[in-house]
């Protein structure tokens, strides 16, 4: 290895000492700026600064890779020239330029480029930002270069509102992971190696935890410099660092969120990735780790070609929190919130609890779907009201309107004619369904659909399909996040559009609703259900909204940008849901249309659309 001292080429290494690997600070830190009076000026608005600079890169080098990505993603490839050194580095001369130098220096080696910089002493590294006007390297610190390029073009890699979070991530990722792989691989004692490899994998676990909750490292919607600084390490990890540097506890492929995150970023910059160069450089260039210099075969890790699932974070729940705008619909809170519990007034029991529901109501629909999936049809009894409400009297029991047995029922428990009478007998003025009712105490337990679903799963499924778990422990955080996101944008979002009293309120709800549908289409491109291969509570809560969209919400709530039938992956998920036991039997689009349209406008119920929900699976 070689370095430069006062402009003179010297033999030896500044990187490896008896204590292991020590990366020296970059010596050249001149600042590139778009200010008119800057010594080293670069501006998108001043063509005289275009092609003034050249960047020397190495395909294998993760630090140079950062800059190559910046040139691509900031659209600078035609304004700042760049070239690569050869993959293998001769011991006696250091990096050799690959062919004729496009910067016009006439030099053959990178050390000769550095020697043009007056009195330079230090290592000969890439990236090297070269000023063709002053004929010298002005900066060889990758972190500086990518940030300067971003600032010069007004990019969003380091937004002011996220700088604190970006800096915090960088400060942990650099020493323990970016540089940590080198320090681990070059450890000179078992004790040192054990400490470093533990810190390294602690950081990977920390990153996995972050990416479980959000799409990128500091944001759900924005890729920043923190992501690209991490990417160049992750993309080399399984191919090089895992084996050569003995960072071998787990591969990136073994981390669900890190691997999917890596695949998303890889798809954006695939043409900057060179796996053959990585293997060739590392296995040849670290003889103390690979004395034979045999280069392993193999291509890109196979998982990189699989679809990613990061679209599930296209919008976070806070993005959908409805602003308090004039004319916005506001849903009242449910009043009865008691819980079924072993040591409470309402213990788990078979045939003790009863449901009052309306088939057209999406909140009732989710409860009935959960009841079917959990096998509780013989555990919790049901009465069904007629879909068209009796004005101020509200939901009514009208069994005489049934066209088949059980379509609508009488009140078999309280013997009332209307739902508000059930509330009134308990001294309340409520009128909503669903209602979970205790037949022993003759009391309303709960009228919040989300809590009824949860109680059925947690407290009553022992009496039905006990092996079905709609809220598995390992997925609860993700389910809770999805529930919030789906409620704000879709479940309640449909009503925010449909019952808006101002154009502003409608527009806001409309945009958020269809943003969420597009995000779901991305999720279902790679997942059978919202959290993976099995249906969960999140799917149950989403289902009634998607089920109603084409035939009800599209026209009734003016959510007319797209039909679900035109969203390929959402439609396929809807079909899968309807194939689950009992789901189609508890889903009626005709009842939904009757309920939504009969009490609105002229009361006419539309005949179309002609297609059936879920293809051929909709119940006639």
pLDDT digits (tens, 9 = 90+) for 118-131: 989 999 999 999 99
Q: What does each C-alpha distance from 99 to 68, 102, 438, 595 come to in angstroms?
A: 19, 9, 83, 75
Kindly state whether residue 325 falls inside one of the protein's structural domains.
no
Pair (147, 204) in one structural domain = no
User: How far, in Å, CA of 620 to CA of 597, rounded?
Assistant: 19
Coil, helix or strand for 123? Answer: strand
Query: Which pLDDT band holds residue 328 (cuts at 50, 70, 90)?
Result: low
Tokens read off for 167: 């800096």
The pLDDT assigned to 237 comes to 97
Kindly state whether residue 314 falls inside one of the protein's structural domains.
no
Buried b (16+ CB within 10 A) or exposed e, 76-114: beebbbbbbbbbebeeeebbbbeeebebebebebbbbbb
Q: How far apart are the first and last CA of the chain?
A: 78
Pair (433, 572) in one structural domain = yes
Burial bucket for residue 284 (CB in 10 Å: 0-12, 13-18, 19+)? middle
Kindly state whether residue 487 falls inside one of the protein's structural domains.
yes
Pair (98, 117) in one structural domain = yes
Coil, helix or strand for 87? Answer: coil
Q: How many CA atoms lie within 13 A of 30 on its CB side?
A: 17
Give pLDDT tens digits for 232-254.
Answer: 999 999 999 999 999 999 999 99
Q: What does each C-alpha distance from 579 to 179, 192, 304, 521, 617 come to in angstroms?
A: 51, 56, 32, 19, 8
Residue 322 has pLDDT above 90, yes or no: no
Kindly state whether residue 331 falls inside one of the protein's structural domains.
no
Lowest-pLDDT range, 205-209, 322-326, 360-364, 526-530? Answer: 322-326
Pair (206, 192) in one structural domain = yes
Query: Rounded to the nearest 10 degrees, what angle do helices 142-153 and 225-236 cross at?
Result: 140
Q: Are 197 and 186 in contact (CB under 8 A)?
A: no
* Domain with 25 in it: 1-155
Residue 616 has pLDDT above 50, yes or no: no
The pLDDT assigned to 308 comes to 86
> Which residue would you say has higher pLDDT here, 260 or 610?
260
Residue 63 has pLDDT above 90, yes or no: yes
Residue 25 has pLDDT above 90, yes or no: no
% of the chain surpassing 70 pLDDT: 94
What angle is formed at CA 572 by the lines to CA 569 and CA 576, rounded to 5 degrees? 140
Kindly state whether residue 342 falls inside one of the protein's structural domains.
no
Residue 215 has pLDDT above 60, yes or no: yes
Kindly state whether residue 93 falls inside one of the protein's structural domains.
yes
Q: Are 404 and 395 in contact (CB under 8 A)?
A: no
Pair (128, 181) in one structural domain = no
> Which residue would you say has higher pLDDT here, 347 or 213?
347
Pair (39, 164) in one structural domain = no
Q: Are 215 and 314 in contact (CB under 8 A)?
A: yes
Residue 397 has pLDDT above 90, yes or no: yes
Pair (470, 359) in one structural domain = yes
Cα 145 to its chain centre, rounded Å, is 29
In terms of Cα–Cα distance, which of 290, 349, 376, 308 is closest to 586? 376
User: How far, in Å, CA of 353 to CA of 350, rounded?
Assistant: 8
Pair (460, 582) in one structural domain = yes
Kindly state whether residue 573 falls inside one of the protein's structural domains.
yes
Kindly state whether residue 440 falls inside one of the protein's structural domains.
yes
Supply the CATH number for residue 238's domain: 1.20.1050.10
Query: Which pLDDT band holds residue 309 (cuts at 50, 70, 90)?
Result: confident
Domain count, the chain: 3
The pLDDT assigned to 86 comes to 95
Supply the CATH number for residue 12's domain: 3.40.30.10
Q: What does each C-alpha distance from 505 to 496, 552, 591 come to in angstroms?
A: 7, 20, 28
The pLDDT assigned to 213 comes to 84
Tokens read off for 168: 């915090």
Tokens read off for 569: 């992956």
Mean pLDDT of 351-375: 97
Pair (416, 525) in one structural domain = yes
Coil, helix or strand for 381? Answer: strand
The pLDDT assigned to 589 comes to 94
- Radius of gyration, CA atoms only, the chain: 32
Note if the pTM is more than 0.85.
no
Coil, helix or strand for 327? Answer: coil
Query: Which pLDDT band holds residue 307 (cuts at 50, 70, 90)?
Result: confident
Pair (388, 506) in one structural domain = yes
- Phi first, then psi: give them for residue 423, nearest 5 degrees: -65, -40
Instruction: Cite the active site residues.
Output: 61, 182
Residue 84 has pLDDT above 50, yes or no: yes
The last residue of a domain, from among 155, 180, 199: 155
Residue 387 has pLDDT above 70, yes or no: yes
Within 10 angstroms of residue 14's Cβ, the number of other Cβ atoms is 19
The mean pLDDT value of the chain amounts to 91
Its sign, for the CA torsion 512, 311, 589, 586, is negative
81-84 and 53-57 as β-strands: parallel, antiparallel, unpaired?
A: parallel
The last residue of a domain, from among 110, 140, 155: 155
Tokens read off for 37: 């009076």
The pLDDT assigned to 456 comes to 98
Residue with tokens 């849901």: 577
Mean pLDDT of 208-221: 91
Cis peptide preceding 236, ω within 30 of 0: no
What angle is formed at CA 291 by the lines to CA 288 and CA 294, rounded to 5 degrees? 130
SS3 content of the chain, % helix, strand, coil (to 5): 45, 10, 45
Tokens read off for 600: 């609105």
Tokens read off for 53: 């600079």
Q: How many CA atoms lie within 13 A of 357 on its CB side?
A: 27
Query: Which pLDDT band holds residue 615 (cuts at 50, 70, 90)?
Result: low
Residue with tokens 């909204």: 545
Q: Are 430 and 423 in contact (CB under 8 A)?
A: yes
The pLDDT assigned to 14 comes to 56
Pair (513, 590) in one structural domain = yes
Residue 9 has pLDDT above 60, yes or no: yes
Query: What one-character DSSP code corresponds to residue 321?
Result: P
Specify the length of the chain in residues: 620
Cis peptide preceding 127, ω within 30 of 0: yes
% of the chain surpassing 90 pLDDT: 78
Q: Are 411 and 383 in contact (CB under 8 A)?
A: yes
The pLDDT assigned to 207 comes to 97
Pair (176, 107) in one structural domain = no
Mean pLDDT of 311-323: 53
Give pLDDT tens digits for 441-459.
Answer: 999 999 999 999 999 999 9
Give pLDDT tens digits for 335-344.
Answer: 898 999 999 9
The last residue of a domain, from among 137, 155, 173: 155
Residue 319 has pLDDT above 70, yes or no: no
């Amino acid at each position: 290895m070689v370095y430069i001292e006062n402009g003179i080429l010297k033999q030896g290494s500044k990187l490896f000492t008896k204590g292991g690997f020590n990366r020296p600070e970059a010596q050249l830190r001149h600042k590139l700026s778009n200010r008119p009076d800057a010594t080293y000026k670069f501006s998108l608005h001043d063509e005289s600064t275009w092609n003034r600079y050249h960047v020397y890169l190495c395909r294998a080098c993760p630090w140079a890779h950062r800059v190559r990505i910046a040139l691509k993603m900031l659209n600078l490839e035609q304004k700042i020239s760049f070239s690569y050194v050869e993959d293998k580095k001769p011991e006696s001369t250091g990096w050799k330029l690959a062919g004729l130098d496009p910067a016009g220096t006439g030099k053959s080696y990178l050390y000769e480029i550095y020697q043009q910089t007056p009195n330079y002493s230090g290592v000969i590294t890439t990236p090297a930002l070269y000023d063709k006007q002053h004929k010298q390297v002005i900066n060889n610190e990758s972190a500086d270069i990518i940030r300067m390029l971003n600032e010069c073009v007004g990019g969003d890699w380091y937004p002011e509102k996220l700088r604190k979070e970006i800096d915090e991530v960088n400060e942990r990722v650099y020493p323990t992971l970016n540089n940590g792989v080198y320090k681990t691989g070059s450890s000179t004692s078992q004790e040192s190696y054990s400490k470093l490899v533990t810190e390294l994998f602690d950081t990977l676990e920390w990153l996995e935890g972050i990416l479980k909750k959000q799409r990128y490292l500091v944001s759900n919607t924005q890729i920043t410099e923190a992501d690209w600084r991490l990417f160049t390490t992750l993309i080399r990890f399984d191919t090089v660092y895992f084996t050569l540097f003995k960072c071998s506890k787990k591969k990136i492929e073994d981390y669900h969120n890190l691997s999917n995150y890596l695949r998303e970023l890889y798809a954006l910059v695939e043409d900057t990735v060179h796996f053959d160069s990585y293997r060739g450089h590392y296995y040849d260039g670290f003889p103390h780790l690979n004395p034979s210099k045999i280069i392993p075969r193999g291509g890109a890790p196979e998982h990189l070609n699989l679809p990613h699932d990061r679209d599930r974070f296209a919008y976070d729940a806070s993005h959908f929190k409805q602003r308090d705008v004039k004319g916005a619909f506001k849903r009242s809170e449910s009043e009865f919130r008691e819980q079924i519990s072993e040591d409470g007034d309402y213990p788990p029991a078979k045939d003790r609890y009863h449901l009052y529901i309306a088939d057209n109501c999406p909140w009732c629909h989710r409860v009935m779907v959960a009841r079917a999936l959990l096998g509780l049809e013989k555990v919790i009894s049901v009465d069904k009201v007629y879909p068209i409400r009796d004005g101020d009297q509200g939901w009514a029991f009208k069994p005489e309107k049934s066209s088949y047995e059980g379509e609508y029922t009488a009140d078999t428990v309280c013997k009332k004619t209307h739902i508000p009478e059930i509330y009134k007998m308990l001294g309340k003025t409520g009128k909503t369904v669903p209602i979970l009712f205790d037949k022993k105490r003759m009391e309303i337990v709960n009228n919040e659909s989300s809590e009824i679903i949860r109680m059925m799963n947690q407290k009553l499924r022992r009496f039905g399909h006990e092996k079905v778990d709609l809220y598995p422990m390992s997925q609860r955080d993700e389910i809770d996040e999805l529930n919030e996101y789906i409620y704000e944008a879709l479940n309640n979002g449909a009503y925010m559009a449909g019952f808006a009293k101002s154009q502003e309120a409608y527009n806001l709800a409309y945009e958020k609703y269809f943003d969420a549908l597009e995000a779901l289409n991305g999720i279902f491109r790679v997942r059978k259900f919202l959290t993976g291969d099995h249906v969960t509570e999140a799917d149950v809560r989403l289902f009634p909204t998607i089920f109603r969209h084409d035939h009800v919400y599209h026209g009734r709530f003016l959510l007319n940008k797209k039909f679900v039938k035109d969203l390929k992956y959402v439609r396929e998920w809807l079909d899968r849901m309807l194939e689950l036991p009992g789901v189609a039997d508890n889903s009626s689009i005709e009842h939904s249309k009757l309920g939504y349209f009969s009490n609105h406008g002229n009361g006419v119920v539309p005949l179309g659309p002609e297609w059936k929900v879920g293809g051929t699976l909709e119940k006639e």
